[in-house]
Structure 1
Amino acid sequence: MEMLTFRRFLRSFLSHTIHDLALMIDRMRAQREPLPSAGIVDSQSVKAPGASEQGMTQTRRSMVENGILT
């Protein structure tokens, strides 16, 4: 049982390593950095085009006043 678990782990590790190397080679062929820089964007840090903060505030206040939101 332990040997089977170890083999699965080893195959998974090998598969991820091959994938990472292939990705790095592909990025270098495209003349980009081999390792991408990290970036995280969440929905609250990006405003939609044409969206106004005041409109959202008014909508939220209206929903609170009508008992839809608490």
Structure 2
Amino acid sequence: EYCGEKTIEGSLYLEGVKEIPEGFNPTVGRNLDLGGVKEIPEGFNPTVGWSLDLGGVKEIPEGFNPTVGRSL
């Protein structure tokens, strides 16, 4: 189980991940791909240098406000 902040210099692909742990708010230098994630938890607001791919997310929660450098 992971909680806290994490910095990743390259890209992060959450392929096969079904649920984002509460408190997980990564800083990703390039791309963040949510892959098979279906639901974004409250308080999930990553910082992404290039692009954020919402993958299988069906609904955007109120207050979702990621920082994205290029494309969402």
* Same fold flag (TM > 0.5): no
Structure ranking higher in helix proportion? 1
Relative contact order higher in (CA < 8 Å, ≥ 6 apart): 2
Q: TM-score range by the shorter chain?
A: under 0.3
Question: Larger radius of gyration, structure 1 or 2?
Answer: 1
